[in-house]
Structure 1
């Protein structure tokens, strides 16, 4: 009788552990699905922020970035505030114009479905003939279904540079 009672208690404990594990997997899958839906909605609405966490220059070492480097995308405006590390063939005329700083309404935006449910976004600036930070030819943003992203910036007078980060809700800048 004692063995039967112990067996029943162990069986109940094992079943409760399985239920807990299944509930955790289900909630994780639900969170993942919600994240995928949120990223899809942000990309479709063309209203998001790429928050850069890591920079990968063509020459030199990769670096982690502090908070505050981003690219804000909306239907009519593109704003970037990103650092630049690399070789410049034509220096900007304004010494305070370092990094990749843009605030433009003159750009084209093309989003395509990418691999494994992600997205590939090409942003071309129409006024890219300016020198300095405004000489960006185009930007290519690859976004995973869960919001992780990689941004490549190709310029006329600078080495290419890449950034890794995440796609987030757009918050109004003050």
Structure 2
């Protein structure tokens, strides 16, 4: 009876240990994929929340994203905030929507495995820069700095 109990405890310990090892392996694979995608400029940032300069967090119920490829950036993001000028009267499309093929891209890996990515589109009017802060696990935030609009940021994840 004692040996059966000891055997059962040993099986449980081995089972738990292997589960932890499998989870760690999946986490490491995910981190390696994120690193590879960022270095190769091939990923999508999906926005879950918008955080305007003046106001609280806005939960996004539609799909909004920023797609990065080696030769282009496609932004389909909403905008909540104050546009100071250069906006057509009565305009209903105030989002951050553009495609850029001329841009600077700088990705710097941080000490804890996360990333800071600075994107400066050269062919998009009124947009200074976009800065992505991505954790090693793929969660992050995007800060958008405009010339004629209040700044806005987004929370989301990399895909």
Check whether TM > 0.5. Answer: yes
Distance 2:154 2:103 in 1: 20
1:53 partnered with 2:53: no
1:114 partnered with 2:110: yes
1:102 partnered with 2:133: no
Deviation sequence 1:65-94 (CA, Å, 0-9, x none): 124200011111111011111112115227
Distance 1:17 1:72 in 2: 45
Q: Computing the radius of gyration over CA atoms, which structure comes out larger, 1 or 2?
A: 1
Structure with a larger share of its residues in strand: 2
Query: Structure 2-normalised TM-score?
Result: 0.93
The alignment covers a number of residue pairs equal to 158
SS at match of 2:61: coil
Distance 2:74 2:149 in 1: 19
Please list every run of 5 or more consecutive structure 1 residues that lacks an aligned counterpart in the other structure: 169-174
Identify the residue that residue 145 of structure 1 maps to in structure 2.
136
Asked if 1 retains the 8 angstrom alpha-carbon contact of 2:81 and 2:149, the reply is: yes
Post-superposition offset of 1:127? 3.4
Post-superposition offset of 1:96? 4.0
1:35 partnered with 2:30: yes
Query: Structure 1-normalised TM-score?
Result: 0.85
Distance 2:52 2:61 in 1: 16
